[in-house]
């Protein structure tokens, strides 16, 4: 009882809540997504978020306040959606 609460990862993982301002900024840095442009979309959206927030990608996880939208096709983009940067 209770031992399940032990966290096996010693690394300090940072959870960043991505607000609407940051989402809007990140949307400006993408051209298309894996839905409308599978050939060119090859970086995950959280990679773009690293650039916008300046956070350390090795310890940062993102939670989107709401999904970003692809500027080209308007489909939803989540943390792990592949996108084409501008
Ligand atoms: Zn798209």
21 alpha carbon – ligand 1 mean position (Å): 20
- What element of type H or E holds 3? none
Model confidence, pTM: 0.83
Q: What is the mean pLDDT of residues 52-71?
A: 95
Contact 69, 29 (CB under 8 A): no
62 alpha carbon – ligand 1 mean position (Å): 20
32 alpha carbon – ligand 1 mean position (Å): 5
31 alpha carbon – ligand 1 mean position (Å): 8
Beta-bridge partner residues of 64: 18
Tell me: the pLDDT tens digits for 16-41?
Answer: 999 999 999 999 999 999 999 999 99
DSSP for 32-81 reads EETTT-TTT--EEHHHHHHHHH---TTTEEEEESS-EE-TTT--EE-TT-
């Amino acid at each position: 009882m209770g031992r399940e609460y032990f966290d096996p990862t010693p690394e300090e993982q940072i959870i960043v809540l991505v607000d609407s301002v940051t989402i809007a900024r990140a949307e400006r840095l993408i051209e298309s997504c894996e839905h409308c442009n599978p050939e060119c979309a090859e970086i995950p959206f959280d990679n773009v978020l690293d650039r916008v927030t300046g956070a350390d990608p090795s310890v940062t996880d993102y939670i989107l306040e709401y999904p970003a939208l692809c500027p080209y096709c308007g489909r939803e983009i989540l943390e792990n959606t592949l996108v084409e940067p501008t």
